[in-house]
Structure 1
Amino acid sequence: MPADADRHRGPCPVQDAVGALGGKWAVAVVGRLARGEARFGRLRAQVTGTDGAPVSSKVLAAELRRLTEADVVARRERGAAVSYRLTPRGRALVPVLDALGEWSESGAGPPPDAA
């Protein structure tokens, strides 16, 4: 077993990364927070699915909690106001997600009708 395997939950770091972003809304949340810190209500208004439908408050809260536990997002409380921002680990994901987007737009991704 490699010396740094203890840092990963499984045998493959790529699987670990995909697991951290495994939620349906994770990429959209990270993409929005890449533009800057936002409060919950703003995130709820700006995070939409591929069909344009907004994320529900319950699902967004669960996704933010999961991304916070994965050290991708940080929760900041200032009195009654709560906001979210990317951590350094989350900011490091932005170029990776950009590259995935470019890969998909190049036609290398799955066909448009693939489920």
Structure 2
Amino acid sequence: MLNKFADVENCPIRNILDRIGDKWSMLILLLLNEEQVMRFNEIHKSIDSISQKMLSSTLKSLEADDLVQRKIYPEIPPKVEYRLTERGKSLIPHLQSLVNWASVNFEDISNSRLQYAK
């Protein structure tokens, strides 16, 4: 039983949470869930503290995991839209549960951190 988390490469918990548990992925997924379809600059304006380079990198990772779909329209200048895939949509209820849990517990956890730091 203790060895089930030993193999980093094949551990679903470590592998998947490492990818979506970064600073930006969950925010992007939740935003795309709310807005359905967004262009790069719309996402960037909605999360203004993310750099364009980090946004691009995060979107590529989410696309590689088939959580986000990137659609390019053959126009000049090129039009690119992002939306959740079916796999991405299936993740949303779990992320929303985590958001709800965080909202309910945030104040108590913040107080616990203050107490711990004393």
**TM tier, shorter chain?**
0.7 to 0.9
Normalising by structure 1, we get a TM-score of: 0.76
Q: How many Å separate the matches in 1 of 2:21 and 2:29?
A: 12
CA offset digits 1:33-86 (Å, max 9, x no partner): 0021100000000125xxxxx211111000001111111111100111011111
Shift in CA distance, 96/82, structure 1 to aligned 2, threshold 3 Å: same
Gaps of 5+ in 1: 1-8, 49-53
Query: Which residue, out of 50, 61, 74, partners 2:56?
Result: 61
Q: Is 1:76 paired with 2:75?
A: no
Where in structure 1 do 4 or more consecutive aligned residues deviate above 4 Å?
A: none
**Max radius of gyration: which structure?**
2
Q: Is the CA contact (8 Å cut-off) linking 1:104 and 1:110 kept in structure 2?
A: no
Q: 1:1-115 maps to which residues of 2 (within 5 A)? A: 9-11=9-11, 13-35=12-34, 36-48=36-48, 54-79=49-74, 80-107=78-105, 111-112=109-110, 114=113
Shift in CA distance, 26/109, structure 1 to aligned 2, threshold 3 Å: farther
Report percent identity of matched pairs.
Answer: 27
Q: How many Å separate the matches in 1 of 2:108 and 2:53?
A: 30
RMSD between aligned residues: 2.0
